[in-house]
Structure 1
Amino acid sequence: MPSPLGGDWTSGLMHTDQQTLEQIVAAVVKKHLAAPIEMRPAETAARVTYLSESIITADLLKEQINGDRRFQISEKAILTPSARDLIREQGLTWTRVTTASTVTSATFLAAVVTAGPQVMRAMEQLGSDWKLDLLESPASAARLAVSAVSRGEYAGVAIVSGQPRLAACLANRSPKIRATVVNHSEDVATAMNEMGANVIALDPANIGMFAMKTLLQRFSKQNPQPPANWETTSRLW
């Protein structure tokens, strides 16, 4: 219908409504991306727990598999009678890894529990050396780190979580893991020199995009190796 002022007033009204709608959507998106949020995927891909210990007992299984129905053990690992009883009772499925997996593309893994815009932007700029995986808790990130490093799938893992100390503590339950908490790229250099850290845990709350990118790049500059006396030191207790 023509407007008394001339032109089609209905198209003008529709155009105004569309502009308003777009402004509202943009404001909502900006609000939700303003701060880090805990990533809670609706559906987490099924994972297989890897046990690197040479003797697998029922108590070890209960502690490590944490509700998982499947697990893997090393080529020469021994399942004790109590472990086999537990497997039968709970209907668990296990396989033996006969050869270590080799790194074919990404060498380092970012196990991200707490994600924000700076985390995603940093990961985008790190390139093909890094792979990103979203996890639902520090415990699941620690389990993934232990499995990935023990099997040789990745040279190192960075756990990005609001609870970095918990994640590092859980990962260090495996004798193959040398995990520590870092806050700056200087911490990474120290951890690499002192203990050859192969897992680092960091809280992204106070780390900007550039600082996070620099920290992760420093971690991936060299293949983490334990100090010469690490085997002796790790047996002190």
Structure 2
Amino acid sequence: MNAPSVDAAAVQALVSEVLRRILAAQPAAPGTAPAVSREHTIADRVITLAHLDRVPGGIREVAIAEKSVITPSARDRAKELGLTFVRHAVGGSAASPDHPFVIAQAACRGDASSRVAAIARAIPQAQQLPASGLADMIASFAVQASKDAARGVLLTSRPAVAVILANRSASLRAVTARDAASLATAASDTAANLLIIDPAQFSGGSLERLCVDFHRTPSGPLPAELTTAPAGCGCKGHGHEAQADDTRTPALTLPGQATGSA
């Protein structure tokens, strides 16, 4: 009697689904904060069955590019898994070749390389700077912004210090916040060219979407309050008279954000 043939693809799909359900059913470790988002991002233009087999357990929404094509088998698998496709501006082309987008990390408590790589996958034209110290990284961003009108994102566990350091540079307008909506509003209000983000405050999907939206959204005009040079204190004993014609942008501090001292 002949043994029944085995479909290797079906076996692989079954194993993937079993593993997904096991991982989703496992309780979180004590003291572990729950995930902020249940969304996974796929930046590729064609969404296949293989993409869905790599979606982590517990995910309910899959963010894809506005013009991505979903194969029939991927669409069927999404229904089986209870996944919903949400179209976002993921992986779009650069707004202008004259305005590069830069991604970097500095002074992170953990290794943020995977977060930087995820952003780079969502923004294929982005340039990744090698990890370095916070002050050196801010200086690199300043050079990029001054030379090429670049915009970018810096991941760091010290956002307050990084914002103050960045806004000492004439070429940078940096903002930070603890949620995507506040950060997007701050960037729009100040025509910011640098987002400074603590990666611990954002899930992977929300961080990637935030960066993609910032990359694709043209920078608006600089607010009138930021176009004039700061007036100086008027004293003569501390060398401040040399700052009378200083045109650097004053530090930007968001409501509720500790200012600290650099």
Query: TM-score scaled to structure 2, two decimals?
Result: 0.45
Query: TM-score scaled to structure 1, two decimals?
Result: 0.49
Hey, which of these two has a bigger chunk of helix by percent? 1
Larger-gyration structure (1/2): 1
